[in-house]
């Protein structure tokens, strides 16, 4: 973050902009790690596959519960890749230089959106086939019986929902693949051609990401309760996406360094900036969460306030308080210190906590619709999360095999390698 605060104190000869092509850069660092990423692919894929099959087996006895548990895990995994797509697009949009050495890992994470399109099928297919366990608006008769929902039927109907889902994932897939392929192409070109093209694309692409992400959040989560509505809900989900990608990015880079890759390339300075972004969006998430609550509570409209009343009663009140403390107060206090953001161990602990409370956030958004009296923990909650997380991590590891983990062809790489915080 803050290229304006970077100081290029190292000579140009110390950081050439091209790698050797054999897994080791010309500045003496390992920028490929095919053996370890292959082992991670096999391990994570195996665990994830078994957990997902177990989830399907358990879901045969209680398909409604499977759908709710799966939706929570899916929206959690989707938020990481969508956050990655937003983050990579942002780096091109603002012509960021500090992030060049970590951008390739972000591109690999964002490229998982094709896989997530497939993983969305257990949610989308039942709805298309008329199953209304998740979305009551799938049942057209229930929509017609409720006069409050009559005017929403033009949007909340199965054919239009299916079309929108195809548009969302089609746009995300094409954009993420283009960003990654252009970056990989630049590795061989060693020119700024791709940099200029991607910077021009970034503006329209960012608007597309914002619109599709907002409507996807509405379709997959807000429409669980079709009576309720909020104009801030898409931004709320975006805040969680950005938190999730920075936490996942930090853990990915720390894992690679532990296995001997990017040790010299990604420095304490880069981790510090990732930590600062986590801290900033912890505050942003809290701001958006409070803004949504305050405006709805102040207006006191029954169609809006009932959503919060549900989460302020019975067992859900404890989860709501946990949101305030665990999602804002604790990470705010923890990440406030410069020392914590510059300590790899502390940053790893902070990132793990952020991903955990982000999952709780998805649970809090989804589950009260089905379980009014409070959380009812089920083995499916765990197996669905392990299944999707394992497959997600395996897909990122698979894409990372045999490619440079740094954009060695970017002409601004030297500045990124020499980046220092003030």
Mean of all residue pLDDT scores within the chain? 92
* pLDDT digit string, tens, across residues 28-37: 889 898 899 9
- CA-to-CA separations, 176 to 15, 118, 411, in angstroms, rounded: 29, 15, 21
* pLDDT digit string, tens, across residues 232-265: 999 999 999 999 999 999 999 999 999 999 999 9
The pLDDT > 90 percentage for the chain reads: 84
Q: Which DSSP letter does residue 329 get?
A: I
- Exposed e or buried b for every residue in 135-148, given b needs 16+ CB within 10 A? bbbbeeeebeeeee
- Span 189-195, average pLDDT: 90
- Residue 262 near residue 376 (C-beta atoms within 8 A): no
- CA-to-CA separations, 225 to 36, 125, 219, 295, 310, in angstroms, rounded: 44, 19, 10, 19, 11
Lookup result for tokens 């746009």: 171
Q: Specify the pLDDT at position 3.
A: 44
Q: pTM for the complete prediction?
A: 0.92
Per-range mean pLDDT, top range of 17-21, 352-356, 407-411: 352-356
């Amino acid at each position: 973050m803050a290229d304006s605060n970077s100081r290029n104190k190292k000579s140009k000869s110390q950081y050439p902009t091209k790698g050797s092509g054999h897994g080791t850069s010309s500045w003496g660092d390992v920028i490929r790690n095919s053996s370890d990423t292959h082992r991670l692919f096999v391990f994570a894929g195996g665990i994830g596959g078994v957990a997902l099959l177990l989830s399907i087996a358990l879901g045969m006895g209680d398909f409604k519960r499977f759908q709710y548990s799966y939706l929570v895990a899916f929206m959690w995994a989707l938020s990481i890749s969508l956050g990655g797509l937003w983050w990579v697009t942002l780096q091109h949009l603002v012509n960021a230089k500090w992030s060049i050495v970590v951008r390739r890992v972000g591109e690999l994470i964002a490229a998982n959106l094709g896989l997530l399109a497939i993983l969305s099928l257990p949610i989308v297919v039942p709805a298309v086939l008329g199953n209304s366990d998740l979305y009551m608006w799938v049942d057209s008769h229930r929509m017609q019986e409720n006069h409050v929902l009559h005017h929403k039927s033009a949007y909340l109907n199965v054919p239009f929902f299916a079309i929108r889902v195809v548009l969302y994932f089609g746009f995300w897939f094409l954009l993420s693949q283009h960003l990654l392929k252009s970056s990989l192409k630049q590795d061989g070109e060693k020119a700024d051609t791709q940099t200029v093209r991607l910077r021009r694309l970034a503006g329209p692409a960012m608007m597309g990401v914002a619109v599709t992400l907002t409507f996807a959040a509405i379709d997959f989560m807000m429409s669980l309760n079709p009576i309720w509505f909020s104009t801030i809900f898409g931004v709320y989900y975006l805040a969680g996406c950005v938190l999730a990608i920075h936490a996942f990015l930090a853990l990915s880079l720390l894992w690679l360094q532990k296995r001997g890759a990017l040790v010299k390339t990604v420095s304490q300075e880069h981790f510090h900036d990732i930590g600062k972004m986590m801290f900033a969006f912890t505050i942003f998430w809290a701001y958006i969460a409070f803004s949504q609550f305050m405006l709805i509570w102040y207006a006191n409209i029954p169609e809006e306030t009932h959503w919060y009343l549900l989460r302020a009663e019975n067992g859900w009140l404890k989860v709501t308080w946990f949101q305030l403390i665990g999602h804002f107060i604790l990470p705010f206090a923890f990440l406030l210190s410069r020392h914590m953001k510059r300590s790899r161990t502390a940053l790893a602990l902070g990132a793990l906590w952020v991903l955990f409370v982000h999952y709780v956030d998805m649970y809090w958004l989804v589950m009260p619709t089905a379980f009014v009296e409070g959380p009812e923990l089920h083995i499916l909650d765990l197996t669905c999360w392990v299944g999707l997380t394992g497959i997600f991590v395996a897909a990122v590891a698979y894409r990372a095999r045999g490619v440079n983990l740094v954009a060695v062809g970017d002409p601004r790489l030297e500045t990124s390698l020499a980046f220092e915080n003030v």
